Structure 1
Amino acid sequence: MDKPTADSPPLPASAPEAPRDGTFERGWNCWKTAVADRVGVLVHGADYFAALETALRSARRSILIVGWDFDPRIRLRLDVSEDESPPLGRLLRQLVEERPELEVRVLVWSSAVAHGPSGPAELLIGTEWQQHPRISLRLDTTHPLYAAHHQKIVAIDGAFAFTGGIDLTLDRWDTEEHRHGDPRRKTTGGSLYGPIHDVQMAFDGEAARAVSDHACWRWKKGTGETPDCTPSPVPWPESARVHFTDTTLAIARTVPDWGDGRSAHEAARLTEDMLWAAERTIYIEAQYFAATFVGDVLERRLSEPDGPEVIAIVSLASHGFIERQVMGRNRDRMIRRLRRADRHGRFRIYNPVVPGGDTDCSVLIHSKLIIADDRLLRIGSSNLNNRSVGLDTELDVALEARDEADRAAVASLRNHLLAEHLGVPGAAVEAAFAETGSLVKTIERLNTGARGLRSFDAIRTRGSTKPVPGTSLLDPARPFEPPWLLRRRDQRITRRRDA
């Protein structure tokens, strides 16, 4: 195994030795634990957007959106006319005009105007939908140099929340069919974009109130204003299936060491602890597969004689120079590293494809999901890259199965996701896994169609496994500037706001 280099970010500090009641520990791998009355997992933009529109129409006092990007031109439902489901900005304007107590706040990463797919003018100048005293869209500049506010949160009336990997912006809508050339997958300019797979979580109860409190803190941190976070009941969207009831959720954050110094690194520790907790299977869906600490843990798990199988579903294509040179090359080097460690044949990594004429059409994986055995489930905004450890702002939510019903629900979700990628019925995955007891054998048995999973076979075990030069600059695990300088800058910003 190659020795760590200066470009390798450190593994999150080891967990305390004190025994835990389950996997989650407040102050270590989660910020809070709180009970959700209902939890639903929404696979794909089409399902999430439909449930979101229903929930937005139920709002009476507050809609708070915190995002990496935001585009008011997107439509949430493409199965009905524009009159019935108008673009998001127009919908929000209609809602505040109909409800005199409703306030809409949208907080967006400031650099989305340059890096996000939305139109810069929509964020910098605004359009007619924003011209209302109870609608406020603000750009959040409270982040270190090169850092991103990467969370994707919608909190409604302080009592209902959506979190996960799906941004309210362009190029995020798709269905489970992922049809090549689907004419519904259009940008505002009319060009088609490719199939995209993503996952979002919906929940209510105390857990939703906790996420709402976090979103309100983000708003105050970014704007200096204190929003009303008083909760009021929100009905469950009819289109959203309930997967879990009366379930404790762990809420984990990444907050960089910047400004007032209240950093948080629970999300990376949560990921690490879940990977260590798995006994039979680790199922991962990730846009990037390049975090050094993840490679460290998986390498050790794969070297165990009786360790878990590791199945990773990741994106094939890298967009832009930085993604290709750093995320893509470090993914390939991590694959090489893990294949060297996989002496027992338990590691598989794939990209999903659908038929696309004469060639396979690759599906972009944008989800950030980990399932350990049939017991632990994590859905969030954290990518498996280094910057999600301590540079970007992230929010992940996880649950631990407490009984057989919960275990069955976790297993069913994992089997459903695999079935979709393989293009087979969910029952086929369930039957094959029940017979073989192996995700590897299940995939190999069912992966025979034009739609399916393609292995990264071109990446062999020979070659370097070290992070590429420049990783510490282009995929850093912490802010570049020293905390004392960042705090001093934040104090100057605060004084200017208060003046």
Structure 2
Amino acid sequence: MDHAWTTGNRLRLLENGDEYFPRLIAAIDAARRSVLLETFILFEDEVGRQLADALAAAARRGVAVILTVDGFGTADLSPEYVARLADAGVAVRVFAPGRRLLGKRTNLFRRLHRKLVAIDAELAFVGGINLSVQHLVKVSPIAKQDYAVEVEGPAARVIHTFMLEACGAQPARHAHAQGRQAMQPHPTQPALPGTVLFVTRDNQAHRNDIEQQYLAAIRTARRQILIANAYFLPGYRLLQAICNAAQRGVDVRLVLQGRPDMLWVKRTVDMLYAHLQESGVRIFEYCERPNHSKVAVVDDDWATVGSSNLDPLSLSLNLEANLVIRDTAFVASLRDNLGNLMSQRCTEVLAQAPARGAWWHGIATPLIFHFLRKFPAWAGWLPAHTPKIVSPVAVPGSPPT
């Protein structure tokens, strides 16, 4: 579909599941016509059970409810959990379900990584927070640090339409350029209150749209760039744009994982530190808990919140969704949040002289980096059927899958 900038939206920054989940449940409880929800991970825990209660109650009072989960990220819902939702009238759909091999999930690529909710075509949520207690700080000492944005207004209608098309509930309106002219950030023009752009990434017509938004903002940055990202392994263009910005005097700061949920991620990102620091980029590691953030701020009038990491999976294979925001009040709130995170809960990584090691480290490290950068893109070239969306339980009146 053709996305374009909309104005007059009301925006609210939500930090972690502690702020996000209550707002989400309240919105579902107040829904009158429709609830559309997509997520990568839904666990059958405290959060998942509360969500099921709210979705089932909405469906029973006549609200059209469609829940779509990813077959890799959400692989272990019990038949009882799914049946309970289906019995209430919830249409439950699974994106690219895969068979296990020796107990292991094999559907590694082309994941539905979006975290989207649309309520009544009036209210929507976009972000990186999965539906599990892993995002509740009050419950788990190792809860993941992350963000979402609540948007009310014209952009919510855009998101609603997109999600209906993704469900097959209405014909998709393919726009090959996806409103390229309308999508440009126009950083030299003053931002109007509530100005946002909903941007998606897929494996067909819109492979680079989120990356292009980052590139346009970074290349025109004048004063400051703040990026908080869970899995930071950008391609050459993004990496070079970030370094170029720092070299021309922009204050560039990265908030990365210091306590990763996957150790290989930190080892890989560490390979970039020296190159970035040589250009003047400051690097902060968040060590209090795993950093799952996917947000950025550029100057005083550009921000993004969404599901897309700056890594090969998000930029080359996954289905992703971000909200690009040009609202100075919202940008200020996110910038202040990240500023507090860096000053109070992060450790700045200072540049160090290269450590001496075996002679082959100088050869192996670049090879490993480039393999990890390119492998998902290579995997995307392999023959593959279009990922299927299936309903674990047939529900009368469900949209076609």
Which of the five TM-score ranges fits, normalised by the shorter chain? 0.7 to 0.9
CA distance in 1, matches of 2:371, 2:209: 22
Cα displacement string for residues 66-104 of structure 1 (whole angstroms, at most 9, x for unaligned residues):
11111353339xxxxxxxxx722122222322x1x2122
- Provide the secondary structure at the position in 1 that maps to 2:18: helix
1:290 has 2:252 as partner: no
SS at match of 1:132: helix
Equivalent in the alignment of 1:19? none
Take 1:315 and 1:460, find their aligned partners in 2: how far apart are those partners? 21
Shift of 1:409: 4.6
Q: Report how many residues are paired.
A: 358
Specify whether residues 333 and 467 from structure 1 end up closer, same or farther in structure 2 by C-alpha distance, changes over 3 A only. Answer: farther
- 1:142 and 1:263 map into 2 onto residues whose CA distance is 23
Structure 1 distance, partners of 2:45, 2:277, is: 44
2:165 to 197, 217, 224: 217
Given candidates 71, 82, 107, the residue that maps to 1:110 is 71
Deviations 1:141-169 (Å, cap 9, x if unpaired)? 19996221111001111221000111112
Which residue does 2:243 correspond to in 1?
Answer: 299
TM superposition score normalised by structure 1: 0.64
Q: 1:139 aligns with which of 83, 94, 101?
A: 94
* C-alpha contact (below 8 Å) 1:38/1:245 kept by paired residues: no
Q: Is the deviation greater in 411-420 or in 294-303?
A: 411-420
Q: Any idea what the Cα deviations from partners look like across 1:31-75, whole Å, max 9, x if unmatched?
A: 422234311111221111111121111101211111111135333
Q: TM-score w.r.t. structure 2 length?
A: 0.79
What code does the residue aligned with 2:92 have? L
**Residue equivalent to 1:340:** 278
Determine what percentage of the aligned residue pairs are the same residue.
22
Q: 2:29 matched to 1:57?
A: yes
- Give the alignment partner of residue 90 of structure 1, picking from 41, 46, 53: 53
Which residues of 2 match residues 78-227 of structure 1 at below 5 A?
87-97=50-60, 99=61, 101-114=62-75, 120-122=76-78, 126-127=81-82, 129-132=84-87, 134-141=89-96, 146-174=109-137, 184-186=138-140, 193-220=141-168, 225-226=169-170
Q: CA deviation at 1:366?
A: 1.1
The answer as to whether partners of 1:63 and 1:102 remain within 8 angstroms in 2 is yes
Structure 2 partner of 1:39: 11
Shift of residue 472 of structure 1?
4.7
Distance 2:30 2:220 in 1: 39
Deviation at 1:275, TM superposition (A): 1.1
Q: Output one character per residue of 1:156-215: Cα deviation in whole Å (capped at 9) or x when no partner.
A: 1122100011111230112xxxxxxxxx424xxxxxx41432110111221111111111
Query: 1:490 offset after TM fit, Å?
Result: 3.7
Letter matched to residue 391 of structure 1: L
Query: Which amino acid in the other structure matches residue 321 of structure 2?
Result: L
Alpha-carbon spacing, 1:128–1:250, altered in 2? closer, same or farther (3 Å): same
Residues 271 and 369, structure 2, Cα contact 8 Å, conserved in 1 = no
Matched residue, 2:103: none
Give the distance between the partners of 2:96 and 2:322, measured in 1 at CA: 22
The 3 A distance-change label for structure 1 pair 269 and 163 is same
2:313 is matched with which residue? 387
- Structure 2: stretches of 5+ with no match in the other structure: 99-106, 172-190, 356-360, 391-398
* 1:388-430, Cα deviation, whole Å (9 max, x unpaired): 22211111111224xxxx2x5523431233224534xxxxxxx
Post-superposition shift, 1:492?
A: 10
Larger Rg: 1
Native 8 Å contact 2:300 2:332 kept in 1: yes
Match of 1:363 in 2: 289
Aligned-partner Cα distance in 2 for 1:55–1:215:
17
The SS at the match of 2:159 is helix
Provide closer, same or farther for how the CA distance between residues 40 and 498 of structure 1 changes in structure 2, counting only shifts above 3 A.
closer
Shift in CA distance, 380/493, structure 1 to aligned 2, threshold 3 Å? closer
- In the TM superposition, 1:251-330 aligns within 5 A as 251-257=198-204, 262-293=205-236, 294-304=238-248, 307-320=249-262, 324-325=263-264, 327-330=265-268
